[in-house]
Structure 1
């Protein structure tokens, strides 16, 4: 029943123009900012952890703006998942760092597109896959009834999705060895079996090591990419940013620290568009208490 409700909601969102979808998101985000709810609670904790030097007033302002942007991320999904791929790609108004992107793909050693949960991250895969062959790693949804819809939505501009298992990892290595591009979300909690703790905004965060191992073994070029959400539903501004040196280091503590530094540098450009409502610090080093309470 929940899956059917989500599908129906996304269909209704897809009937809206992007300006109206973002307008609706602004209203929902305002409501989230003034009422007790999980998104506000988690966002407030994360912002307090990551920006301890901001005044209480500035933290509150960032919280309110981030909830509005998070709500826009939901309401725009109808368009990004259901509109014709060409119509979606036409929403990209500007591209920064495109020369880095073209040069990386011409290099012949593969490209790892590192896409944080910043701005319209769904747009990153759609845009990049429309430019060059692409394989993206994804974590299958908890609601299995949504998997077919999600895979179709994310693959319709040419991408191939592979799950976070042994098959998926092998496919990523083969794709890079063939000189093609792969896409990875770098800022999910890696849990106990897939990561180590590295600082993110100065806070230990369970961080994936797969990306660093891919880079070290293949010599692929690393680029951060995010789709800045433009005001008034005008569309998106794609940013390609060279990654900090050291992500491919054999010392995984250093490598993951540099990976998180790259994410942090992107987030600082548009902190209100980051997904602060995600429990990025769910896993804790041994002996540390939970930051979000029972979760």
Structure 2
């Protein structure tokens, strides 16, 4: 995709409110990291109180995935999850606008040698991650050391799309933004020995999915990871990220390339992906994006698992 460019139409009055909001966010992002964490938790508390439908979706997901927990434990994680979501707004801001040297100090990176080795071999990499609230800053921090191409879906608001792409692409000057539906371009990049960020842990419907367990619940799971790895002649590398409780930043781990993947069947591959996702989520369940209806698509004849589907 082309480099994002500023257009005069972005100055139209209909965008003034958005520009004002972004400007305020930019100013707030200048504050110390410890203060931004406090503000984020406060914002998350407000969202928890007023975002009723999303709160109920997250609560239901926790009930389904952690039935062994007490209700008190699930409610505590639920509240922490919304706090993490509030922090994510400010993480987005510092990812886009903090000076590189300041941003880099937040990263505690492990396993970079795995990406470097595959790059030296000219092997394409599917950097498999999952939808944590730290997704935005995790990608920005990794981009300080290694270029990763990204799957991209254009935002409906052109001003926000411009600001978002500018903020993201400053960390990967030679990276390629690939339209999410452009499979041909993705395979071309993989065969050229580059790395692409990819997250297969959401419900994208039954068309490109198989039903396999996720936390013991049947879930529509995309088969694209296996297909991309096979057709792109690429290795799959798991990338996990976690906001550290001591406020020192983020633990980022690039794991060794997955062995025997793709495997004997797409169903087995999907099950392995879900098991990897489960293991990553159990490390910091409060930081996962529980407000997504992960179990929305059901096998034929099964009722909805959500109260308002």
Q: Which TM class, normalised by the smaller chain length? A: 0.7 to 0.9
TM-score by length of 1: 0.87
What secondary structure sits across from 1:207 in the alignment? strand
Shift of 1:281: 2.0
Deviates more, 1:122-131 or 1:211-220: 122-131
Aligned 1:104-253 pairs, distance under 5 A: 104-158=118-172, 159-166=175-182, 169-242=183-256, 245=259, 247-249=261-263, 251-253=265-267
What secondary structure sits across from 1:179 in the alignment? coil
TM-score by length of 2: 0.84
Cα distance in 2, alignment partners of residues 201 and 3 from structure 1: 39
Q: 2:112 aligns with which of 85, 94, 98?
A: 98
Measured at CA, do residues 280 and 64 of structure 1 come closer, stay the same or move farther in structure 2, by a change above 3 Å? Answer: same
User: How large is the Cα RMSD of the aligned pairs?
Assistant: 2.5
Cα distance in 2, alignment partners of residues 260 and 251 from structure 1: 15
Measured at CA, do residues 226 and 117 of structure 1 come closer, stay the same or move farther in structure 2, by a change above 3 Å? Answer: same
Once superposed, which parts of structure 1, at least 4 consecutive aligned residues long, lie more than 6 Å away?
none
Measured at CA, do residues 111 and 238 of structure 1 come closer, stay the same or move farther in structure 2, by a change above 3 Å? Answer: same
Q: 1:45 aligns with which of 57, 60, 76?
A: 60
Shift of 1:221: 2.1
Q: For residue 77 of structure 1, what is the aligned residue in structure 2?
A: 92
Measured at CA, do residues 101 and 283 of structure 1 come closer, stay the same or move farther in structure 2, by a change above 3 Å? Answer: same
Shift of 1:223: 1.5
Measured at CA, do residues 180 and 10 of structure 1 come closer, stay the same or move farther in structure 2, by a change above 3 Å? Answer: same
Instruction: Give the unaligned 5+ runs of structure 2.
Output: 1-14
Instruction: Give the unaligned 5+ runs of structure 1.
Output: none
Q: For residue 258 of structure 1, what is the aligned residue in structure 2?
A: 272
Highest CA radius of gyration, 1 or 2?
A: 2
* Matched length: 292
1:51-72 per-residue CA deviation (whole Å, 9 max, x = no partner) reads 1111112212221222211211
Measured at CA, do residues 229 and 191 of structure 1 come closer, stay the same or move farther in structure 2, by a change above 3 Å? Answer: same
What secondary structure sits across from 2:143 in the alignment? helix
Q: For residue 293 of structure 2, what is the aligned residue in structure 1?
A: 279
Shift of 1:13: 3.7
